[in-house]
Amino acid sequence: FWTQVPQGPPDAILGITEAFKKDSHPQKINLGVGAYRDDMGKPYVLPSVRTAEQKIVQENMDKEYAGITGVPDFTKAAAVLAYGKDSAPLKEGRIAITQTISGTGALRIGGAFLQRFYPNAKAIYIPTPSWANHKAVFLDSGLEVKQYKYYNKDTIGLDFDGMLADIKAMPKGSMVLLHACAHNPTGIDPTEEQWKAISDAMKEGGHFPFFDMAYQGFASGDTDKDAFALRYFLKEGHQPCLAQSFAKNMGLYGERVGAFSIVTSSPEEKAKVDSQIKILVRPLYSNPPVHGARIASKILNDPALNKQWLGEVKEMADRIITMRALLKENLEKLGSKRDWSHITSQIGMFAYTGLGKQEMERLAQECSVYATKDGRISVAGITSGNVERLAQSIFKIVG
Ligand code: PLP
Ligand code: TYF
């Protein structure tokens, strides 16, 4: 049957782990996939997650199906986390929200909803570069994918003028994907002032903002601060939609906990949108898994556990910030002539080193240091034990 099926390429990010596993170097380093590691380089389960799980087990809960839109205590709390407890649309009952299969599922349900209902839906604009999966997710949702300028390779910073010019040049009413914080892969976010100008340009064009928030809390260590752009857009009268992931900020990667929400103009509109989201979800996976959502719900709804979790998010963010500083320091100590200040000015899980494809290939072949070919390294994979060897490796390749 399947002889005509062509061999496909591996995922650009998840494929790195395959190459890493095959390498027998005892001090090999994997900075490919964005997954948090502790300072021993081990996967980390948050103590608040362990406690929440114990509480759930003690409650002897049943395993009945959740509704189509998931665990209500979870989605309610997820909306508060993102939009803020004083958010007007939230208080007015006009945000439609559904639990999703993590952030990817949120983007995919969002893409499908927009494809079906956004007036004259055609293209969604994503930044250049963007998370590798964005294009595939939106193409598979039936949308056309276009790009706007974002990264300036000369400054290893934001191409703010290019971004703004591209937004202004889009056809009226375009759909625009925005990384809410900790842009993946560059780690470069607009400043608050720049967000204000972006909001103005989006309003002027009558464009529709789709926020992808996969790292709330991970950028600054403060979940409110990281929600600045989303909340500012709301205050300015935008009615965005939002993909949320709890993979990173709760370390629930494999549990697949996320949410998709849309701000509507009235409770009546919300009810209609809700009904159509259910119609989309039903034939895809019927209803989402409950365990991870119950963990997130406990953490978000139990005040003591919530406080503990916020502390743990901050600890993770702070360890990453420390590793950035250590990497830069070690490169400078080795006598590198390059300016590495972007390593500490970028935020979130990734550093965009500015290294090119061939340099990244040599880093893997000659130093057993693995990361994506675009020069992105997952800072979460750096430890006080491997940072020196990492700096030496980068110095060996680029000086
Ligand atoms: N969006 C961005 C920008 C990401 O980096 C990721 C990966 O973590 C996701 C969405 C979705 O990830 P997940 O499906 O694991 O929540
Ligand atoms: O960018 C990353 O590394 C994370 C994890 O298909 C990830 O967002 C990578 C690839 C993928 C799914 C998740």
Over residues 262-314, the pLDDT tens digits come to: 999 999 999 999 999 999 999 999 999 999 999 999 999 999 999 999 999 99
Query: Which protein residue has the closest C-alpha to ligand 1 atom 8?
Result: 214
Local confidence band at 122 (pLDDT 50, 70, 90 cut-offs): confident
Question: What is the CA(103)–ligand 1 centre distance, in A?
Answer: 5
Q: Which atom of ligand 1 is nearest to the CA of 106?
A: 14
pLDDT at 111: 98
Local confidence band at 365 (pLDDT 50, 70, 90 cut-offs): very high
Q: What would the mean pLDDT of 319-343 be, rounded to a whole number? A: 96
Average pLDDT of the residues of the chain:
96
Q: Which atom of ligand 1 is nearest to the CA of 183?
A: 3
The response to whether residue 131 sits with its C-beta less than 6 Å from ligand 2 reads yes
Specify the 3-state DSSP secondary structure of 66: coil
pLDDT at 11: 83
Which entry of 159, 166, 212, 226 is annotated as an active-site residue? 212
State residue 52 phi and psi, 5-degree precision.
-60, -40
pLDDT at 15: 83
Would you say residue 119 has pLDDT above 90? yes
Long-range contacts of 269-275 (CB under 8 A, 24+ apart): 269/94, 270/93, 270/94, 270/95, 270/96, 273/96, 273/113, 274/69, 274/96, 274/98
In Å, how far are 336, 340, 393 from 398, measured between CA atoms? 8, 12, 9
Local confidence band at 390 (pLDDT 50, 70, 90 cut-offs): very high
Which of 191, 242, 245 shows the shortest CA–CA distance to 215? 245
Task: Provide the 10 A C-beta neighbour count for residue 230.
Answer: 26
Active site residue 212: yes
Pairing of strands 369-370, 144-149: unpaired
Ligand nearest to the CA of 214: 1
Residues in the chain, total: 399
Print the SS3 string covering 244-265: EECCCCCCCHHHCEEEEEEECC
Active site residue 309: no
Local confidence band at 326 (pLDDT 50, 70, 90 cut-offs): very high
What top-level class would CATH report for the domain 14-44+316-398? Answer: alpha beta
Question: What is the CA(258)–ligand 1 centre distance, in A?
Answer: 10
Local confidence band at 174 (pLDDT 50, 70, 90 cut-offs): very high
pLDDT at 223: 97
In Å, how far are 89, 261, 269, 305, 320 from 265, measured between CA atoms? 8, 13, 6, 34, 39
Would you say residue 258 has pLDDT above 80? yes
Query: Which protein residue has the closest C-alpha to ligand 2 atom 4?
Result: 34
CA atoms within 13 Å, Cβ hemisphere of 225: 15
**DSSP assignment letter at 41:** S
Local confidence band at 90 (pLDDT 50, 70, 90 cut-offs): very high
Would you say residue 121 has pLDDT above 90? no
Over residues 137-173, the pLDDT tens digits come to 999 999 999 999 999 999 999 999 999 999 999 999 9
Burial of 61 (0-12, 13-18, 19+ CB in 10 A): exposed
| Chain centroid offset of residue 98 CA | 18
Which entry of 28, 131, 195, 226 is annotated as an active-site residue? 131
What percent of the chain has pLDDT above 70? Answer: 100
Local confidence band at 61 (pLDDT 50, 70, 90 cut-offs): very high
DSSP string over 194-241 = HHHHHHHHHHHTT-EEEEEES-TTTTTS-TTGGGHHHHHHHHTT---E
pTM for the predicted model, two decimal places: 0.97
Would you say residue 341 has pLDDT above 90? yes
Active site residue 248: yes
pLDDT at 13: 85
For residue 18 the two structure tokens come to 């395959």
Pocket test for ligand 2, best of 14, 255, 377 (most atoms within 8 A of CB): 14
The helix-helix angle for 47-58 and 303-333 (nearest 10°) equals 150
What top-level class would CATH report for the domain 65-301? Answer: alpha beta
Q: Are 334 and 391 in contact (CB under 8 A)?
A: yes
Pocket of ligand 1 (CB under 6 A): 34, 102-104, 131, 179, 184, 212, 214, 245, 247-248, 258
For residue 281 the two structure tokens come to 């979800």
Question: What is the CA(313)–ligand 2 centre distance, in A?
Answer: 19
Q: Where are the beta strands (DSSP E) in the chain?
A: 29-30, 95-101, 123-128, 144-149, 151-152, 157-158, 175-179, 208-213, 241-245, 257-263, 350-352, 369-370, 376-378
For residues 75 and 54, what is the distance between their CA atoms, to the nearest angstrom? 21
| Residues sharing a CB contact under 8 Å with residue 30, sequence separation 6 or more, in sequence order | 16, 17, 20, 370, 381
Pairing of strands 29-30, 369-370: parallel
Local confidence band at 27 (pLDDT 50, 70, 90 cut-offs): very high
The response to whether residue 34 sits with its C-beta less than 6 Å from ligand 2 reads yes
For residue 208 the two structure tokens come to 């529709």
Query: Which protein residue has the closest C-alpha to ligand 1 atom 2?
Result: 214
pLDDT at 154: 92
- Higher-pLDDT residue of 229 and 122 is 229
pLDDT at 76: 98
Which entry of 28, 146, 248, 328 is annotated as an active-site residue? 248
> Domain extents for the chain?
14-44+316-398, 65-301
Question: What is the CA(264)–ligand 2 centre distance, in A?
Answer: 30
Q: One fold for both 14-44+316-398 and 65-301?
A: no
Local confidence band at 12 (pLDDT 50, 70, 90 cut-offs): confident
In whole angstroms, how large is the CA radius of gyration of the chain?
A: 21
Question: What is the CA(248)–ligand 1 centre distance, in A?
Answer: 8
Q: What would the mean pLDDT of 249-269 be, rounded to a whole number? A: 98
Q: Which atom of ligand 1 is nearest to the CA of 131?
A: 3
pLDDT at 14: 82
In Å, how far are 220, 310, 319, 356 from 314, measured between CA atoms? 8, 6, 9, 32
Question: What is the CA(144)–ligand 2 centre distance, in A?
Answer: 22
Q: Cα torsion at 68, 71, 73, 76 (round to 10°)?
A: -50
